[in-house]
Structure formats: structure tokens, C-alpha cells
């Protein structure tokens, strides 16, 4: 009852704040702000006029964060998969189309940093974890998913550079404690739980010491957004164009954990596509066209989908990940993710939507199209031995 009463008070306060913000930022008759949706009036009291954030209150900088990422967070606050009393109440008051419009608006803002990081250098431990990671504890380098220097990897990976250290610490602890659950693969939860409190604080101080990036140019982001919307349905956030092709997605972009692939005898059924999968997932029931191993290798080597972040893959120099299983000798394994029969139909479906076939896998959906999954599968089946090709 006490928690419910507090939530009710927060809800009332947020409602009052919305009305106050609206009254303060009424647009004179005949004047329309450029690229500013009306709902943005409700955000300035906490996040600042340009989304610069407020370190004194722990409110993060949101200017220039990827549009898809911002939309996911608002939707997650609305459905409770990310917890914060004030933000949950705010998001639930906003219509889905307003949440989408806000994401599009703030993604293109270029606000100055709210506060300088100060003269004290961050701990060297933070830089090492952010750029190299810790193989012994299976902590992948943060830059793998969040970009060089923590500048982000749109459309799904947020930037960390220039964010307040207390916010980064609180966000990481939310993953660690399970109060944030809006990531189908739970890669951030896995990494956060492997870090000590001192590690988390050091990484937070390192990224807080860096300058925040400018918004990504639309001509760079738009092709990524179009690719993610191929074959999909519009997002619940209305105008947001960064929709994904499937219902589960990646919170932080590149995967941080991988499923456990079982080892065993060669599976002779690989040449025949599966007609169904465990549960309600329907796999391809028509013959799949042959994939091109060379194209599959190129897709993996590009790093766009993050395969090299988690897996060691023979023949790809940059693929030295330690979080997911090594993929050498994949062609001789009897199972995928330790549970699924290793054949072409299952593999292609698994690559496109891992959690749908094996809910316990740590491998997330990385946004592969059917064509990309076919080519990658063809390449993986060339890995007959641990050192091939």
C-alpha cells in the first residue's frame, strides 16, 4: 500500500508538472516551433530546453541519442519493462504517436554538455574496461557496442560519452539488479552482473570525462532505419521510422552474450529445411535458396551486426569475442544453442530470432534479414574444423 501511495503521489505531481510546463511554454498564436512537437513541452523541466540533462537531479542528457533507442525507452517506461516512477507516469500519459515524435525530435538536437567533467582524470581501470574489457570475467569492451569513444552505434546503441557518471552508474546497476528488463537478449544484464561496483564506477567516470557526440547525420542513419523496417510493421510509437522487423530487439545493438552451441556428431539432416520449430515458431516450409558463404563472411566481418563482438570465428581477424561460444567447427555440431537440431532451416530462423526458438539463449535478435541469415548460415557451414577456413 505504501508503494502504491507513493506511485499515486508521483503520478499526480507529474500531471501537475505537465500542465505547468505547458503553461510556461505556450506558443504565441501563429508561431510554430521548427521540428518541435507539442509533447516536447513536457520534457524541458527535467531534461532541459535542448535535452542537455541535469546532473544535479540525475536526469540524463537525451539530445542526439538514436531515435530508435529513445522510442524504445519511452515505450518501455509505458509498459513497465524499465522502471522509474516519474518516467513511467510521464510515458503512460503520452499517446504512442507523441512518444514517437519526441524520439524523432530529441535525436536531432545538438545540445552542449550540461557540465564539464572536471580536471581530475578518470581511473585507468575505466578506460581499460571500456576499450578492452576483461576476458577473465567475460566482460566485453563497452566500446564494442557503444562505439569508439562511446559515441553510440545507431539505430539501437546509445552513446555514453558525456553522460553524467551518476546516471551511468544507476543505469548499469538497474541492469544488474533486474529493474530494467527491456532487452530481449539480456546482454547488458549479463555484463553488469559480471562487473564489480568499483568497475561500474570507473567505467562511468571514464565516459563522463569524454565530450558528448553530435547527432548522427540523417543521410547516415536513414539507410539503417529503412533496413530495420524491412518486412516489419509500424512501431507503437507512430512516427518513429526505426521499426524492427521482429518483436524482440537489441537494447544495446551488438550482442554481448551468445547461446551455448552443443558439440557432437555431424548432423546429416542439415541439407533439409525444417518445417517447424519448438513451440509456436514456424520455420521456413519452402526450400531455401543457397546462400553465398563469401557474402556471409563479409556480412560478419563488417561488424554491423556485432557477431565479432562475442564470437571467435576462424578466418575473420577481428572476431575474437569471448562472451559467446567460438564458431570454429560449427558444421560438425549436432545442435544449435545446445537444444536445436543443426540444419539449415533451423539455423536461418535462429539467426533471425534466437529467443523465439530457444528462450534461454543469451543471443539476441541482431536484425538480420532473411537474405543475410541465409548467407551467414552458408558461411558457418564452411567451418568444418576449429581452424577453418
Same domain, 293 and 235: no
Same domain, 21 and 159: yes
Same domain, 347 and 304: yes
- pLDDT given at position 336: 87
Same domain, 174 and 297: no
Residue at which a domain ends, from 201, 223, 254: 254
3-state secondary structure the chain: CHHHHHHHHHHHHHHHHHHHHHHHCCCCCCCCCCCCCHHHHHCHHHHCCCCCCEHHHCECCCCCCCHHHHHHHHHHHHHCCECCHHHHHHHHHCCHHHHHHHHHHHHCCCCCCCCCCCCCCCCHHHHHHHHCEECCCCEECCHHHHCHHHCCECCCECCCCCCCHHHHHHHHHHHHHCCECCCCCCHHHHHHHHCCHHHHHHHHHHHHCCCCCCCCCHHHHHHHHHHHCCCCCCCCCCCCCCCCCCCCCCCCCCCCCCCCCCCCCCCHHHHCCCCCCCCCCCCCCCCCCCCCHHHHHHHHHCCCCCHHHHCECCCCCCCECCCCCCCCCHHHCCEECCCEECCHHHHHHHHHCHHHHCCCCCCCCCCCCHHHHHHHHHHHCCCCCCCCC
- pLDDT given at position 254: 33
Q: Is residue 342 part of a domain?
A: yes
Per-chain mean pLDDT for the chain: 74
Residue at which a domain ends, from 254, 276, 297: 254
- State the total domains in the chain: 2
Same domain, 241 and 318: no
Same domain, 150 and 297: no
Q: Is residue 167 part of a domain?
A: yes
- pLDDT given at position 219: 61
Same domain, 243 and 277: no
pLDDT band, residue 224 (cuts 50/70/90): low
Same domain, 300 and 239: no
Q: Is residue 387 part of a domain?
A: no
Q: Is residue 343 part of a domain?
A: yes
- % residues pLDDT > 90 (the chain): 34
Same domain, 226 and 319: no
Tell me the average pLDDT across 136-155.
Answer: 83
Domain boundaries, position 287 = 268-380
Q: Is residue 213 part of a domain?
A: yes
Q: Is residue 261 part of a domain?
A: no
Same domain, 203 and 310: no
Same domain, 296 and 250: no
Q: What is the CATH number of the domain that holds 339?
A: 1.10.760.10
Tell me the average pLDDT across 241-246.
Answer: 33
Residue at which a domain ends, from 254, 282, 306: 254
- pLDDT given at position 252: 33
Total-model pTM = 0.60
pLDDT band, residue 166 (cuts 50/70/90): very high
Same domain, 243 and 305: no
Amino acid at each position: 500500500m505504501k508503494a502504491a501511495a507513493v506511485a499515486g503521489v508521483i503520478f499526480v505531481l507529474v500531471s501537475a508538472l505537465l500542465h505547468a510546463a505547458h503553461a510556461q511554454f505556450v506558443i504565441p498564436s501563429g508561431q510554430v516551433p521548427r521540428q518541435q512537437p507539442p509533447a516536447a513541452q513536457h520534457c524541458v523541466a527535467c531534461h532541459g530546453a535542448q535535452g542537455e540533462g541535469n546532473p544535479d537531479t540525475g536526469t540524463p542528457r537525451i539530445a542526439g541519442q538514436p531515435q530508435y533507442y529513445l522510442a524504445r525507452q519511452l515505450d518501455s517506461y509505458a509498459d513497465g519493462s524499465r522502471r522509474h516512477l516519474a518516467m513511467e507516469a510521464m510515458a503512460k500519459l503520452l499517446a504512442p504517436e507523441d512518444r514517437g515524435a519526441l524520439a524523432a525530435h530529441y535525436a536531432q538536437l545538438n545540445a552542449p554538455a550540461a557540465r564539464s567533467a572536471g580536471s581530475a582524470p578518470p581511473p585507468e581501470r575505466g578506460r581499460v574496461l571500456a576499450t578492452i574489457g576483461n576476458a577473465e570475467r567475460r566482460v566485453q569492451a563497452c566500446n564494442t557496442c557503444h562505439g569508439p569513444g562511446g559515441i553510440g552505434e545507431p539505430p539501437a546503441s546509445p552513446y555514453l560519452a558525456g553522460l553524467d557518471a551518476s546516471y551511468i552508474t544507476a543505469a548499469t546497476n538497474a541492469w544488474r539488479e533486474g529493474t530494467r528488463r527491456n532487452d530481449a537478449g539480456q546482454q547488458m544484464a549479463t555484463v553488469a552482473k559480471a562487473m564489480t561496483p568499483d568497475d561500474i564506477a570507473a567505467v562511468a567516470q571514464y565516459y563522463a570525462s569524454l565530450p558528448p557526440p553530435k547527432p548522427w547525420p540523417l543521410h547516415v542513419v536513414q539507410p539503417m532505419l529503412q533496413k530495420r523496417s524491412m518486412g516489419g510493421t509500424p512501431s507503437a510509437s507512430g512516427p518513429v521510422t526505426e521499426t524492427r522487423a521482429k518483436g524482440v530487439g537489441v537494447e544495446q545493438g551488438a550482442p554481448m552474450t551468445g547461446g551455448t552451441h552443443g558439440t557432437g556428431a555431424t548432423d546429416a539432416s542439415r541439407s533439409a529445411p525444417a518445417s517447424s520449430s519448438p513451440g509456436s515458431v514456424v520455420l521456413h516450409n519452402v526450400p531455401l535458396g543457397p546462400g553465398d558463404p563469401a557474402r556471409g563472411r563479409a556480412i560478419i566481418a563488417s561488424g554491423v551486426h556485432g557477431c565479432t563482438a562475442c564470437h571467435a570465428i576462424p578466418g575473420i581477424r577481428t572476431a575474437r569475442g569471448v562472451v559467446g561460444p567460438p564458431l570454429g567447427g560449427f558444421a560438425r555440431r549436432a545442435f544449435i544453442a545446445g537444444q536445436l537440431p543443426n540444419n539449415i532451416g533451423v539455423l536461418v530462423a535462429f539467426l533471425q530470432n534466437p529467443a523465439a526458438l530457444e528462450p534461454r539463449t543469451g543471443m539476441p535478435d541482431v536484425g538480420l534479414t532473411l537474405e543475410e541469415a541465409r548467407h551467414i548460415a552458408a558461411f558457418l557451414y564452411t567451418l568444418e574444423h576449429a581452424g577453418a577456413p
